[in-house]
Chains A and B, each alone.
Chain A
């Protein structure tokens, strides 16, 4: 196929300057490559964080609270009313009519439900006291909503709570702090001062220090008895087949039952916002890297237009238009961008492969999460966005000197050359 004359001219200019062309292409390629690697790392970190968030907590959580203070009947009756000195009734905390609430949710929620009673308590053993959040659960339900994933159990499981007697499942770090182990009998003291002996029948390790050090699970009935709140639940957890549906499910559930219902996205709103800000920063840095590469291209094409001004004059005298001249030098910028992008894709992919081989072993006090490898996300969009930015930058870098070159007056150049 015959190459259009303008592209042929562009090719001759670019190939005629081997070293400078190599530098320009490499600058774009490195920009694209590092942008891809950085985007993969950032996106991977974000995905990993969200995955942990989604796995570690319920997708939707209903608690025994209300989003807004209850309206007084008089407020509904009259348009303008001022209420002063109101003394709210001391309600008994907990989700009222739990059976009805469950029935209202069970029919339509696309996932599993688990209800529980969360209360504060102290675990006591060998003269050591440790505060903990005591969660009263139904083992089958807790398993279904994956309160603790099966692989996170070091010993025993939720089913061990139902073996008979007072059984307790705790985090390994809590047991370690107490000096207790599987089978040890410890004392649980509720907030009301009630105390019972419980046997440790399960140990878990989630990797989240707060949970491993401060969470314990008992049967729901045992928790209700211990805290003197018979038949009370204060926490309903929903695990959905599709976590993305959580906000919609939460809105609908709150409309139906009135209790505060929070989706995981709402519970982590500030963190998700921080991730958006992080992405904006990342893409700004990526853009800046490629703009810097664009300056290199601008510099080289400016040099070419300067050195080739005589050729520009002769092309114009032959009948080439200003548009042809512009296209010629923009094509050179785009050529740098395309070549740089293709090589940059390879550099980016190689960097990602190299980073995926890096392994870390993080553990010990103060480390909230264990991470054994760099989280990386392979996404074709990273490649397309990086190449798109590179091409835009290269085109602009080509266009500016091209516009100036196109405006050169051939007579001035011919006179100068003569």
Chain B
């Protein structure tokens, strides 16, 4: 599989009177179709590494190449455009816009990208929601949905522009075990049936063990990685 993402000596230090190192000299390569778990104890820099990989945060040092593009050369607008086209985010909390219906929330990235017309956007959003078992809830607002349903809408939104890479930050962290399993299955299917690459932060070692590869962080440093089958 081709290399999708390559990070060299990724470092993130929060400036201040006492600088805090969040991510310390992490190098990694992720290929297309991988299901990667980032694990580690609280405060080990898992989410910080994910935000760096997702271009939401700026590197203090190091180099990140995303789909053959050196991100150091990109300005804010170009980073946003790259995020829009190639990345999908799923957070611990759904972060859906409360004024919009499930369908409108999923359409949001497509409307920003503007490559599909309104009918196509609507059809694709409905199709994604249907695949995730939400065909009966298209026009419901987030407050009318359960936690698991909201998180599935968030997954549909992450997939709206058909990005090759999905980044998930504790995607099952706020869900009950049944919903967790459901969301995990969706992410699993994304990799094995749709050929997406998923990098997910989790502190659930059981879930991490079911992913293809694990990166373990301690105090911001990559302490170990392994492939699991």
Interface residues of A (CB under 8 A from B): 2, 5, 8-9, 12-13, 16, 310-311, 313-324, 409-411, 414-415, 417-418
Q: Which residues of A contact B157 (CB under 8 A)?
A: 318
B113 closest partner in A (C-beta) = A319
Residue B184 at the A interface, CB < 8 A? no
A-B contact pairs, 5 of them (CB 8 A): A5-B108, A317-B95, A318-B109, A318-B112, A409-B57
A417 closest partner in B (C-beta) = B93
Q: Which residues of B contact A319 (CB under 8 A)?
A: 80-81, 83-85, 87, 109, 112-113
Residue B35 at the A interface, CB < 8 A? no
Q: Which residues of B contact A414 (CB under 8 A)?
A: 51, 56, 91, 95, 169
Residue B111 at the A interface, CB < 8 A? yes
CA of A414 to CA of B76, assembled, Å: 18
- Interface size (B, Cβ < 8 Å)? 31
Contact A317 B118 (CB under 8 A): no
Interface residues of B (CB under 8 A from A): 47-48, 51, 54, 56-57, 76-77, 80-81, 83-85, 87, 89, 91-93, 95, 97, 99-100, 108-109, 111-113, 118, 157, 169-170
Given contacts A316-B80, A318-B108, A319-B80, contact A418 B93 (CB under 8 A): yes
A16 closest partner in B (C-beta) = B99
Q: Which residues of A contact B99 (CB under 8 A)?
A: 12-13, 16
B85 closest partner in A (C-beta) = A319
Q: Which residues of A contact B76 (CB under 8 A)?
A: 321-322
Q: Which residues of B contact A415 (CB under 8 A)?
A: 47
A4 closest partner in B (C-beta) = B111
Point out which of A8, A317, A324 has the most chain B C-beta atoms below 10 A from its C-beta. A317
CA of A315 to CA of B99, assembled, Å: 14
CA of A2 to CA of B118, assembled, Å: 8
Contact A320 B57 (CB under 8 A): no
CA of A2 to CA of B114, assembled, Å: 12
CA of A12 to CA of B93, assembled, Å: 21
Point out which of A9, A317, A319 has the most chain B C-beta atoms below 10 A from its C-beta. A319
Contact B91 A12 (CB under 8 A): no
Contact A318 B93 (CB under 8 A): no
Given contacts A5-B111, A319-B83, A411-B56, contact A417 B51 (CB under 8 A): no
Contact B83 A318 (CB under 8 A): yes
Q: Which residues of B contact A5 (CB under 8 A)?
A: 108, 111-112
Q: Which residues of B contact A8 (CB under 8 A)?
A: 111
CA of A415 to CA of B14, assembled, Å: 14
